[in-house]
Structure 1
């Protein structure tokens, strides 16, 4: 079959072409019938459906580093400017935080010297809107008092059932230039991983230290063995005890961090 000539074309406005996976060959840009697609793919935004949580802690942290009021930075963020539904959720959330601050003052009082509350909302409470908060907003009740089914408490929100109640924002579009990597598994954002990296890091340092000591006696202990073998034996025994101690710690550390 003779090769078909290329046919250039331009689509305005940009249109989404959808092809089934079986119609596309492994080499990108070629369809199963031999049609080659060339050109520049536009950077399309990321679409999220039924957003069940919004976390502004990273925005707040960056604002504090620049000496800006975190709430001002959040309210001027593109996310709230471009999404009226999320701005409404944020305004509702601020009201809930004000109620929480009042409860904490009533319960724990104010420091007499500084005049500041003895307890204030945590950063997570202040800057994160979780799915339970969205559920409370949809039901018109205070945060923490929404009707949460037992199944949801263990397995997370029922998206199908809650979509009918309009619990979560239906669609959120994030421009490509606003997409950044901020891992929720970093120690700064997750207590579990802060403990995890600290404990495993310390354990790893002890393992390296013990291995270096035992390696030293293995490769450099000949002179000590010839001059005073009992002296070397005592040191090897102490090094062995330390090594077994590190091993024993791992026996407890592994199930706590990985299995529980």
Structure 2
């Protein structure tokens, strides 16, 4: 393989690695929801992971909307140092029976507002809720969220997936495991994102390493040397310089 071709292959491998790492960072930048104990009919802890995508601004406010068609009889919000939390109650369009109670009103939004600082640029934080009971006969629940930055930008994470493709700003969605005799932790979009993120980073690192190795081999390849001039016919020397 020529040196020029090796250099070209190395450059392509390195560029591919950077693309994969960039895609991984993009995939992990969504606001997501996960739960260690969610199952239909039970109570659960919901954890909202909120990354700050901006390089210059911080996240100063998070508003999480709860499902009105499947309201919760109980909503407890995590108390965080440096953040003010407010729960908003609304009247439901029609009474909904949840377990042994019938709700005519329910908590529909929870808002965390930073009192100072917020989530710094390129960092993330987690905000938790304790809710129940979770509905039965439902595969997943969506929690549209609104993220506000210190520079005034507002990002609405409210789009639902269609045709199997992920939208630009997907709503945090919790997938509920089927009820069974053995408790099963809920599977979430954030877990899938984490797996895809790890895979992309591994592939990107491997590609970058191959590119650097190829570049190193190309640079270390010795330059061709001039061939030795063959001795004239019949002029071979014997031992001790004697002519044969």
TM exceeding 0.5 = no
**Greater strand percent: which structure?**
2
